[in-house]
Amino acid sequence: MHTNVIDPREQLRAVGLRVTAPRVAVLNAVAAMPHSDADRLAATVREALGSVSTQAVYDVLRACVNAGILRRIEPAGSAALYETRIGDNHHHLVCRNCDTVVDVDCVVGGAPCLEPRNDHGFAVDEAEVVFWGLCPTCRLEGRRPL
C-alpha cells in the first residue's frame, strides 16, 4: 500500500498555494479516503471545519490537481475521484459491482505504457489503465456484475 506522509501545509507551500483551512482539510480528507468523489470529500471537510460549500471543495480540488499535488481519475460511469498518490503512473482496479477502487502498480516495470506504438507527435507523460472485475467481497458473496 502506498501512503503519502507529507504535511498538507508543506505540500501547499511547495507548489505556491496559500495555506488555508479548507485546502488543508481537503488534502487531509483525500489522504484519509483515497478514490473519493467531491461530494464525499465535502461532507468530510464539513465535519472537520463546519460550514464550507461544495463549490469551495471543488475549487480546492481543481487547484490541487492543477498544481500536481492531487490526481483526478474518472473510471467509466463514475464521478471524478481524487487521490494523493501522484507521479508514479500507477493504475486502478475497479469492482463492477460495488465500485471499490484500489491502486495497482504498473504491470511491467517502470512505465512501459508511456511508449505507445505511434505517439502521433504527442509528448506523452501519463497513461491510464483501469482493470475491471469483481472485488474479493463481491466474489465471495456470489454477486454478479451490475
The pLDDT tens digits for 78-87 are: 899 999 999 8
pLDDT of residue 129: 81
pLDDT of residue 7: 93
Give domain 88-140's CATH architecture.
Answer: 2-Layer Sandwich (3.30)
Which neighbouring-strand residues pair with 83? 71
Nearest-angstrom CA–CA distance, 19 and 146: 42
Q: What is residue 34's DSSP assignment?
A: T
pTM to 2 decimal places: 0.82
What CATH number is given for 8-82 in this structure? Answer: 1.10.10.10
At residue 63, φ and ψ (nearest 5 deg) are: -65, -40
pLDDT of residue 11: 94
pLDDT of residue 111: 55
Beta-strand ranges (E) seen in the chain are 71-73, 81-83, 91-95, 101-104, 130-133
Which neighbouring-strand residues pair with 29? none
Q: How many CB atoms lie within 10 A of CB 34?
A: 22
Give residue limits of the domains in the chain: 8-82, 88-140
The distance of Cα 65 from the centroid of its chain, to the nearest Å, equals: 9
Grid cell locating 94: 475497479
Which parts of the chain register pLDDT below 50?
1-4
